[in-house]
A and B are shown apart, each in its own frame.
Chain A
């Protein structure tokens, strides 16, 4: 094939001995044409990132290395060129942007100096000319007031601005290829939409070929020209975006796409008249600083939640949706009394939980339980699964035998083998651990389950399973659920009602159908407009429901 920018042929990347599989990347063939965006999609462990890193020569040596195959760039094979040549190519001809711009930028150098470095290493230019080019670049990526940002340090910029600065750096020398490794995963949806737009715009303007690594089919639908789907280190399907997204051939691709939650809210259910939990005027202010008996620095105050009002009725799922820093987690933590709210009422069947002390709160603990976000941090690594689940009932005074029986029963309810009882958490995958976390929350027979981003750390196929499980147990155990999420697709599929939060304030509340059909608040409209791939309807609508 000619006219390709990059050709990857039969690439094998070997993992160190004793790993789960021999190759992280196996028999991978990919090509990238100029002025094309190729999206490499896959779940965690599919080898998509290592493929990108192999192109840059950035594999974590000496454990992981290219064993076979070629990466042809122009006349050269990148798996064979020397380090000196590779350094030349990096940055000037192939450049890369990373997931987390905060760690990819040097925190003690100004943005301007970091862009300047790129020019100094790769091009001969005077100091003044370099400065001018840097300012122009920052302007190109639509950063406000480039002259001021050039002297700013990374921590002074927002996440989106940092990613823009990274992109400016990556594009400084007009590379032929841009490799983007999950560049928007750490960003909020509205920022993500802007960054995607920017990448597309710059790519078209410079004829750059973009190798875009992502796990999100919505993002793929928004920007891809061509798509390659990876599973277990192999490319299982590759083709034009339209073909892969709308007429997938490989069963794995079909499963993945079917697992993407639809943006069309599911059918509304009858709403019960009985309120279970009412939150009124909830306000929480975080204070920091002031250490050493109050003699330290000045105290800083951040209002994380301001006069939040929510109502949860029996059997319904209330979604709290918002971007990072909107205060949605704070509200959840105040409701389960992990944090103490400063003002307001948290009424469970009419009795206010907010003023209760630890001892007085204990009988109510069983009524409200929480499912946490990170399945790896939420289980004690040194405690056996059976004990983790049985702990709650034991504390609440049940007999050990009864608590253990209940734990075994719960393992079955959440779809795990009873043999899991005597194992340690590290023997389970992320999705299975989340099931254990759910079982722990259910052990006390709660009435209200507060789930704080329960699926955002999981791959999309596992995510679908956990959402289905949550739905199932809600109906089976007649739970009411508060579901915190940043993902509107997920919210559309699990929530009956949605409260949208921003800067600690609930800007809009309504039934899921209403909010998606006819959002009232401007911010809700922005959020909905920013959902990646909103014009693309996955082939199967009944994926979750």
Chain B
């Protein structure tokens, strides 16, 4: 994308105020994750003071949990984990899904049959249960969580990309490339893919939110990486003391809520800006 395109995109994006707000929140969360080591230089697992301190007491901005760990530090460090896993898992899922969907849509016939039946097989298992299963089989670690999330997320991308390829491969400009003698790979990457980037970006941005939710769910159940602080882990740890120390669960929960909401708003904004057919809606 050139600078001129980018400016045009921003003009369209800007029209959706809630999307701009979402982007601002997301930027704040990214800033929080990036500066976690600066504001909370200590290990978030470290016992920092009196257990169960309410917010704004004993030197804890958001209170401490039943072992005296700082909730605020946990949220800041957890932001890093959540965003990282969300982004990486989505990239892997989108990459693999686009590959499968692209091949199926472009070639059709038995390749399509084979790839799409495989995709459907993955879709028959409820995704969260499948993710639990995968993490339980591999041992819980940040890599296994990324793999699990990617494995349960790619079929949606594959179906989307297949549909786009299917409709684009018969367009006249693609056929014109055939008559020029262009190779399949170049047609797929150079001609068709750029034309279906918009829906892929939109779906991808929304998938980041889902990935963060799955990751939180996994760590809540104790299937997270034991060495890495995450929001789900904080909630899981605070769940037993919900009535006596509400802040342990509440603040990480709010963090997840706000992050997922922000990402969804951004995704919606992308959709409005990139999908010209919907531009006239407002």
Contacts and interface: CB of A to CB of B under 8 A. Distances in A.
Interface of A: 63, 291-293, 336-338, 361-362, 365-366, 368-370, 372-374, 377-383, 391-392, 395-396, 437, 440, 444
Interface in B189-238: 191, 194-195
Question: Would you call the interface of chain B mostly helix, strand, loop, or mixed?
Answer: helix
Contact of B175 (A292, A362, A372, A382): A372
B194 A382 contact: yes
Nearest to B186: A395
Nearest to B171: A377
A381 B168 CA distance: 12
B113 A369 contact: no
Given A293-B113, A381-B195, A365 B173 contact: no
B181 A361 contact: yes
B124 interface: no
12 contacts: A336-B179, A361-B181, A362-B181, A365-B179, A365-B181, A368-B179, A370-B176, A374-B172, A378-B172, A383-B191, A383-B194, A395-B181
B181 A369 contact: no
Interface in B140-191: 171-173, 175-182, 186, 191
A373 B171 CA distance: 11
Nearest to B177: A391
B43 to A, nearest CB: 48
The 10 closest A-B pairs by CB, nearest first: A365-B181, A378-B172, A392-B180, A372-B172, A362-B181, A382-B194, A380-B173, A377-B172, A370-B179, A336-B179
A440 B176 contact: yes
B38 interface: no
Contacts of A63: 280
Contacts of A392: 180-181
A365 B180 contact: yes
A395 B184 CA distance: 12
A22 B274 CA distance: 27
A365 B183 CA distance: 12
Contacts of A291: 113
Interface of B: 110, 113, 171-173, 175-182, 186, 191, 194-195, 280
Contact of A395 (B171, B173, B180, B280): B180
Contacts of A374: 172
B110 A378 contact: no
Interface of A, secondary structure class, is loop
Contacts of B181: 361-362, 365-366, 392, 395-396
A391 B172 CA distance: 15
Contact of B172 (A293, A336, A373, A444): A373
Given A338-B179, A365-B180, A395-B182, A378 B173 contact: yes
A60 to B, nearest CB: 10
A346 to B, nearest CB: 14
A372 B113 contact: no
A170 B138 CA distance: 69
Nearest to B180: A392
B194 A372 contact: no
Contacts of A377: 171-173
Given A336-B179, A361-B181, 14 more contacts: A63-B280, A338-B178, A362-B181, A370-B176, A372-B175, A372-B176, A380-B173, A380-B191, A383-B191, A383-B194, A395-B182, A396-B180, A396-B181, A437-B176
Residue in B176, B178, B195 whose Cβ sees the most chain A Cβ within 10 Å: B176
Nearest to B173: A380
Contact of A391 (B110, B180, B280): B180
Nearest to B191: A380
Nearest to A452: B172
A291 B194 CA distance: 29
Contacts of B186: 395
A543 B175 CA distance: 33
A368 B176 CA distance: 12
A487 to B, nearest CB: 19
Nearest to A387: B190
Contacts of A365: 179-181
Given A336-B179, A361-B181, A369-B179, A292 B113 contact: yes
Contacts of B195: 380-382
Contacts of B182: 391, 395
B164 to A, nearest CB: 13
Nearest to B116: A292
A361 B180 CA distance: 10
Nearest to B195: A382
Nearest to B182: A395
B146 to A, nearest CB: 31
Contacts of A368: 179
A97 to B, nearest CB: 27
A186 B280 CA distance: 28
A20 B38 CA distance: 54
A402 B27 CA distance: 47
Contacts of A381: 195
A338 B177 CA distance: 10
Contacts of B180: 365, 391-392, 395-396, 440, 444
Contacts of A338: 175, 178-179
A440 B177 CA distance: 10
Nearest to A362: B181
Contacts of B175: 338, 370, 372
B138 to A, nearest CB: 33
A282 B171 CA distance: 25
B110 A293 contact: yes
Nearest to A440: B176
Contacts of A380: 173, 191, 194-195
A370 to B, nearest CB: 5
